[in-house]
Chains A and B, each alone.
Chain A
Amino acid sequence: MDLENQQRIMDAAEKYGAENVVVVLGSADPEGAGLYAETVTAGDPTFAGPLAGVSLGLPVYHVFEEDIKAEADQGVWDEQIAMMEMVLDTAALAGSVAEMRDQHSKIKL
């Protein structure tokens, strides 16, 4: 994750409190989704950015996970997201994010 985004996530967590923030990912590949999820929970695994060694423990979900999908407007979902849902490996994406969340998130929805 680029350094600027790491800083902005850290700022948002400080400003609003980790318990009030939810991170939603739209990543296309499970490996990338896992890395993002790790960064916002356990800290930056590359030790390059502001979140290196900072375990925010934020609740993180992939947009395809039922907890998020259930909250979405179905009409907009069908228009803008359903196509990618058919193309991408949603189970692997959700699994990759859930694994990190289960290990490192301090808060869940």
Chain B
Amino acid sequence: MGKLTGKKLILLGERDGVPSPAMEACLAGSGAEVAFSATQCFV
């Protein structure tokens, strides 16, 4: 069982860094559920 199993994830991505959808895709199999996901965009 991984460290994230059963956890609720709050993903705060950044367009010029790692966007939230990429983090979601990566962690989809971690056993955690995404509670809230947002990608900031600083222009």
Which residue of chain A is the closest to B10 with respect to CB atoms? Answer: A23
Inter-chain contact total with CB atoms closer than 8 Å: 104
* B9: A residues at CB distance < 8 A: 21-24
Which residue of chain A is the closest to B30 with respect to CB atoms? Answer: A71
Residues of A within 8 A of B (CB): 1-2, 5, 8-9, 12, 15-16, 20-29, 32, 36, 40, 58, 63-64, 67-68, 70-73, 76-77, 80-81, 84, 88, 109
Main secondary structure of the interface of B (DSSP, over half): mixed
Q: Are B3 and A12 in contact, CB atoms less than 8 angstroms apart?
A: no
Complex CA–CA separation, A109 to B17 (angstroms): 23
Main secondary structure of the interface of A (DSSP, over half): mixed
Which 3 residue pairs of A and B lie closest in terms of their CB atoms, listed nearest first? A26-B18, A28-B17, A26-B13
Contacting B25 at CB < 8 Å: which of A29, A70, A76? A76
